[in-house]
Structure 1
Amino acid sequence: MSRMLRMLAATWLLVTVVLVAPPSVALAHERRDVGQYTFVVGWLVEPAFTGEKNGISLRITDRDTGQPVEGLEDMVSAEVVFGGQRRNVDLRAVFRDPGHYTADLVPTRDGDYRFQFIGTVGGSEVNETFDSADGGFHGVELIDAIQFPVAAAANAPAQAASQTADQRVAAAEQAVAANQTLAIVGIAVGVLGVLLGGLALVARGRRERAAEQGGAPRIAEEPRG
């Protein structure tokens, strides 16, 4: 009986921990009160990996009623920051999930990212920045760890070598084709030169014969008796 009671107590404790655990821990999202509203921010797909399509996840609810706040995709702008690089992204409402907004993003570098939101929510100005470095949500991880059988990064040198070899073959083929073209042009020029030379000799011979015929003395005819 006591064993059964201990099992029930342990089960109840586990359920209680799950229910009261902060959403930032349970969902790997950061939860923050912003005036009258609650913002929950993180990656749309957790964990986030380099090279994989993902997106910002922004959920806004009313603090008092817990109701989702809709229609903010045109009222709030979003910016993604990585190191010294910034990029504006367009928020859109998630289909059939009121109060939930996202913006498409494919992170190409691993590390910490910052999401900044500027605009108006319910007539109140907001300017909030959420940074994965603060631990509220996870940064981006390299995808190599889950690639199989060969990680793309490890396979990159072989791919580069293959591309280099292909480029060398293509360059050699182009060089051969160019040399063949030059050889054909050279032969054509040589043949043309021979033909022109022959025509010049023929024309010269004709001129010489014409000159000889035109310069020969005429024999006067004797008068008839």
Structure 2
Amino acid sequence: MKVLTLSFVALLFSVSLVTQAFAHTTVEVEQFEIEVGWGIEPPVVGFRNDFVFKITEPDENPGLKVGVKNAFKSMQATAKFGGVTKVLDIGSDPRPGHYFSHVIPTKTGSYSIHLEGEINGTPIDIDIPVEDVESTAVLDFPPTSGSSSDQDVAALKSAVSSLQQEVSSIKSGSGIDVSSEGAAYDYAILGLSIAAAAIILAVIALIKRK
């Protein structure tokens, strides 16, 4: 009997842990309870995931809830990221009241779902935030010391520094006749190379900032 009791307590404890692991957002609209979140958590940029929905209403038996069938018959779900939006294609889970929409998040940051329409005659118009999408660093193992873009920036900085030294060498006249046509041509090419490297460096820095 003691073994059964301890097993039951352990089961309840494990269930509570599983429930806490899902960072879903639940809202209530009149008699309906709407839960929205990610199918895989934490959500990571660039990896396929799902927006998942659970929509329930009170059952005939007090204290129980039942899944709402065909909840999206007259309701639309729109994913929002900043000023960008996308109307979602909703699929039905075999379990009543459970729905999903496939997605690959392409940016880290905050996402939300806007539901608009009606469920069985009840108007719905609400924004529901979901867990922020994180970079791959949250799953990287072993952790990387620096990203490839950081390495590219370092390499370009080194190249620019080297070119600047060569230009300085030409200006000082160390072994090169700057008055000659060939030296002038070399000087122009080096100047253009520095400009091109600087532009590439600026582009990479801009991409990293986004």
What's the TM-score once normalised by structure 1's chain length?
0.54
Is 2:144 aligned against 1:145?
no
- Counterpart of 2:115? 117
Distance 1:154 1:40 in 2: 36
Q: Secondary structure at the match of 2:116?
A: strand
Tell me how large the CA RMSD over aligned residues is. 3.4
Determine if contact 2:72/2:119 at 8 Å carries over to the other structure.
Answer: no
- Cα deviation, residue 98, structure 1: 2.7
One-letter identity of the residue aligned with 1:141: E
- Cα deviation, residue 113, structure 1: 1.7
Deviations 1:109-162 (A, max 9, x none): 222222111111011101122224xxxxx32111133235685x7123557879
Determine if contact 2:36/2:52 at 8 Å carries over to the other structure.
Answer: yes
Deviations 1:155-194 (A, max 9, x none): 23557879xxxxxxxxxxxxxxxxxxxxxxxxxxxxxxxx
Q: 1:146 to 1:115 in 2, by over 3 A?
A: same
- Counterpart of 1:41? 36
Q: Secondary structure at the match of 1:49?
A: coil
Determine if contact 2:91/2:100 at 8 Å carries over to the other structure.
Answer: yes
Is 2:147 aligned against 1:154?
yes
Determine if contact 2:25/2:129 at 8 Å carries over to the other structure.
Answer: no
Divergent runs of 4+, >6 A: 7-10, 159-162
Deviations 1:54-98 (A, max 9, x none): 12111112223522212233422112222x323122232234233
One-letter identity of the residue aligned with 1:37: F
- Counterpart of 2:190? none
Q: 1:24 to 1:37 in 2, by over 3 A?
A: farther
- Counterpart of 2:177? none
- Cα deviation, residue 24, structure 1: 6.2
Q: Secondary structure at the match of 2:147?
A: helix
Q: 1:100 to 1:12 in 2, by over 3 A?
A: closer
Is 2:48 aligned against 1:53?
yes
One-letter identity of the residue aligned with 1:99: G
- Counterpart of 2:97? 99
- Counterpart of 2:185? none
Among 45, 58, 66, the residue aligned to 1:63: 58
Distance 1:30 1:119 in 2: 19
Matched residues, number: 152
Determine if contact 1:93/1:99 at 8 Å carries over to the other structure.
Answer: no
**Taking every aligned residue pair, what percent have the same amino acid on both sides?**
25
Structure 1's unaligned 5+ residue stretches are 133-137, 163-225
Q: 1:144 to 1:18 in 2, by over 3 A?
A: closer
Whose strand fraction is larger, Structure 1's or Structure 2's?
Answer: 2
